[in-house]
Structure 1
């Protein structure tokens, strides 16, 4: 599996396009600039299978409807944030003077576990704290985890939004992410990629917990 990252929108959110050897694709967090994302997908000559959302904040869902409509693919999100897609207060867009919504998701994630889509196999990890329904997608074969806004290079997600909790977030990071192999690449919702080992060694938010 290979993946490419597109940084989109005013908040510089990272959208990921994952492609396997069969030219199947998964789109993680199409946050904005739907036309640009669709053009990228077209240029790669791949077959999208699904949209996976790490959480429902506005900067991660702004292009969901555009991508879904173009490719006719289902959307996955944790059930705790199913209603956030259509609620501008819960998804945070109202507080930034915007009105960002998305249609109802097709599949609600109810618990952690294995998820298979086409030839993709992944572990869905519940990593709440930044938001109540935040999840991370771990691909063991690719040695990569897509952490949304839970864990960043040298930082962690903000916890001052609705349903946020720094205690819960730190517990999530330590119990779900830092237990992954140290060489695992962390592909976050904002900023550069890092590795689990790097964050264990140098992330100032994770020491002393």
Structure 2
């Protein structure tokens, strides 16, 4: 399996595209610039099988319907945020984009608990990692030693918790009890900025020391 990081949308949110040898693909957090993303997928001759959302903030969902309409693929979201997709107040787009609020069609698959999701040849372990938002999840691909953490954990930082539903202590608990329990060599594919590793954040993330 190969994966590609593509910053998209007004906040340059990292979308991740995973692909296998058959050119099947999984799209994680397509945050915006829908036509540019579609052009890239077509240029790579990829066929998305599903869209996985780490959470429903506007900068992570902006191109969802572009991809879903083009490829007729299902969208996965945690139950805590399934109604955020249609609500600009909850997904934050009314606050940051004003009258140009983002409304996305309902998700096709609702994540109700931590579990393993199998889509074609792709397999993800879903961890509930709330704190940045109540329905935040992380997707772990053990075979590739990578976790897609959304806005829970960043290189030398953690997600903001001052938005509706955010909770600083809950985020710290999620990081320590879920993400930092992964092998230290695990790559952390963050929602913004560069990738990092679990080991690096354990050693030097200033927000996690002294917890």
- TM-score normalised according to structure 1 size: 0.99
TM-fit CA distance, 1:47: 1.7
Contact 1:61/1:101 (8 A) holds in 2: no
> Match of 2:184, SS?
coil
Correspondent of 2:148 among 125, 146, 149: 146
CA-to-aligned-CA distance 1:78-136 (integer Å, 9 cap, x gap): 01000000011100011112311110000000000111000001100100000000000
CA-to-aligned-CA distance 1:152-180 (integer Å, 9 cap, x gap): 00000000011100000000000110000
Aligned residue number for residue 115 of structure 1 = 117
Q: Give the CA RMSD over aligned residues.
A: 0.7
Stretch moving more, 89-98 or 166-175: 89-98
Aligned residue number for residue 190 of structure 2 = 188
Q: In 1, Cα distance between the equivalents of 2:124 and 2:12?
A: 26
> Match of 2:147, SS?
strand
TM-fit CA distance, 1:9: 1.4
> Match of 1:70, SS?
helix
Q: In 2, Cα distance between the equivalents of 1:93 and 1:191?
A: 21
> Match of 1:81, SS?
helix
Name structure 1 gaps, 5 residues minimum. none
Aligned residue number for residue 92 of structure 1 = 92
Aligned residue number for residue 70 of structure 1 = 70
Stretch moving more, 97-106 or 149-158: 97-106
2:3 aligned with 1:9: no
Aligned residue number for residue 40 of structure 1 = 40
Aligned residue number for residue 81 of structure 1 = 81
Name structure 2 gaps, 5 residues minimum. none
- TM-score normalised according to structure 2 size: 0.98
Aligned residue number for residue 201 of structure 2 = 199
Correspondent of 2:105 among 103, 119, 124: 103
Structure 1 stretches of at least 4 aligned residues deviating more than 3 Å after TM superposition:
none
CA-to-aligned-CA distance 1:49-86 (integer Å, 9 cap, x gap): 00000000000000001110011100000010000000
